[in-house]
Amino acid sequence: MDPIKFRCKECHKRVEAQYTLDSVRASLARQEDTIIFALIERAKFPLNNFGHNRLFGSDEYIGSMINGLVLKTEAVQSKAGRYINPEENPFFPENLPPSAAPDYPFSEFLQGAGASININKEIWEVYFHELIPMFIKCGDDGNHAQSVLADLTLLQAISRRIHYGKFVAEVKFRESPKIYEPLIRAKDSEGLMDELSSESVEERVVKRVERKATVFGQEVSLEYDVSGDTYMINSVASKLYKKYLIPLTKKVQVEYLLKRLD
Ligand SMILES: C=C(O[C@@H]1C=C(C(=O)O)C=C[C@H]1O)C(=O)O
């Protein structure tokens, strides 16, 4: 199959990411759509526990299907260059193959040792032990690969959102270095958490997520508009953010700042 031949003179123009407090908050708002739709897609399958626990694989891999599919999918995506983007963090960073994609000069906006923070092991545990039971019905419909890939899509969207906290923290540090530097040098985690937190912004995020999930979760037909939440996902989405995504995003911000001057 021939590669797509773009004829637009703009098609190779580099689109440089700009990081300001407004732009990172706008990116987090756009990521809400991705997460909510990934929740809706995963909720279409029952638990399909086979994919999570039972042994699966072939000569080069024996383990759970979810581990195998995530590990193999990340390896393919790594070769395609996914993880040269500092906004992306793999769940299995050990032994990832190097990118074979054309090099791309991603912004080196993140600074210090905090740039390599990866809390995906914690996200993985929270996802399977606390999030899945929140919204997935018991049962097995045989769609093991499909539901596991829906898990991966949702895991990657959640991970990207939480680790975006590194960019938010860098923006805040650059805006107020004289406030953050003393707190960092004093290793004052609580002081950093207080300084970077904004209750009003968090409340807006949770309310907006609940409204988006109510709208996105509706079923629309040609005969009639069905209002209301078909997938009952709005309460799940707002709880997901309030109880897990926001606290973990702030945790990443604090951990990033503690290493910012290293
Ligand atoms: C992301 C930010 O930092 C914190 C985390 C937030 C979140 O995870 O949604 C929202 C506000 C802040 O408490 C921000 O200030 O926008």
| Each residue's pLDDT tens digit, 214-225 | 989 887 777 666
Residue 70 Cα to ligand 1 middle (Å)? 28
Nearest residue (CA) to ligand 1, atom 8: 246
- Atom 2 (ligand 1) nearest CA: 168
Instruction: State the closest ligand 1 atom to the C-alpha of 247, by its place in the atom list counted from 1.
Output: 8
Instruction: Please give the residue that has the higher pLDDT: either 149 or 61.
Output: 149
3-state secondary structure of 63: strand
CA nearest neighbour of 90 among 150, 143, 159, 165: 159
For residue 164, the ligand 1 atom closest to its alpha carbon is 1
Half-sphere exposure of 116 (CA within 13 A, CB side): 4
Is the CB of residue 183 less than 8 Å from the CB of residue 192?
yes
Task: With cut-offs at 50, 70 and 90, classify the pLDDT of residue 229.
Answer: very low
Domains of the chain: 21-197+247-258 (1.10.590.10)
Give tens-digit pLDDT for 38-51.
999 999 999 997 66
**ipTM for the predicted complex:** 0.99
- Ligand 1 is surrounded, with C-beta below 6 A, by 25, 28, 168, 196-198, 201-202, 205, 246, 249-250
